[in-house]
Amino acid sequence: MKEKNNHKAFRALIILGIIVVSISFCIYLFSSASFLIDEIVIKGTNRVTNAEIIKRSGIRAGLSTVFFHESSAKNSLLMSPWIKEVTIFKEYPSKVIISIKEYEPFCIAAFEEGIYLYLSETGKKLGEINHKEGLDYPVITMEGRHDESLIVQAVQLLKLSKTSSTLSWDEVSEVRISNRYGIRMLTNDQRYIDFGYGNLNNKWYKVEKIINRSRNINLTEEYINISSENMGIVNFKI
């Protein structure tokens, strides 16, 4: 019986020794120079610098390709307002590829204290305006108290204009939002359209009908008020 117990203990020691040696070998192998990052490839960036990508991700030369966490690096990168999607790929033994998809500016919004920010097509705040990115975007301006729901509606109107052949995004100069009056759109050729609040898809459809009918009889609208669900008011240029 004693001999049998000694045999079991010996087998257990052998197994333990194998485990310890295996772990030690893995630690040595994965911390060796062969598995340390010596090349970082960054793709898809236009507005976010490579230096910011490296700093935010925490991925740097000399770090083990095995022991850094892609999910943590990805979440840190997604905290940048410009970054929409991130893919991190390890190409063993020592290369990491970071692919970035950035948001595209869709319009500009004027906030308090003279701050102008780019907004994405979803209304996400991206960053302050600059000459490199350009200023040729419709501008959302605000009268009175800042109202996020009205900003969302203003962006919705601009999205409708993006697919319209009657009143296109390129024709829109400004979208004014007001807690008192709702939303007013101004065009580059000085036309005004009052939308009021809510039900914008239906109101946009009515505005397109008004403009198309005006063109068919060689008239150009100067002012359209479609804020009421039941009726519209149109003034024409003389």
Question: What SS3 string covers 157-218?
Answer: HHHHHHCCCCCCHHHEEEEEEECCCEEEEEECCCCEEEEECCCHHHHHHHHHHHHHHHHHCC
The answer, yes or no, to whether residue 212 has pLDDT greater than 90, is yes
Query: What confidence tens digit (pLDDT) does each residue in 46-75 have?
Result: 889 999 998 998 887 767 666 677 888 899
* Domains of the chain, earliest start first: 33-102 (3.10.20.310), 107-236 (3.40.50.11690)
Helix, strand and coil content of the chain, in percent to the nearest 5, comes to 35, 30, 35
Query: What confidence tens digit (pLDDT) does each residue in 180-207 have?
Result: 889 999 999 999 999 998 889 999 999 9
The answer, yes or no, to whether residue 3 has pLDDT greater than 80, is no
- Whether the full predicted model's pTM is greater than 0.85, yes or no, is no
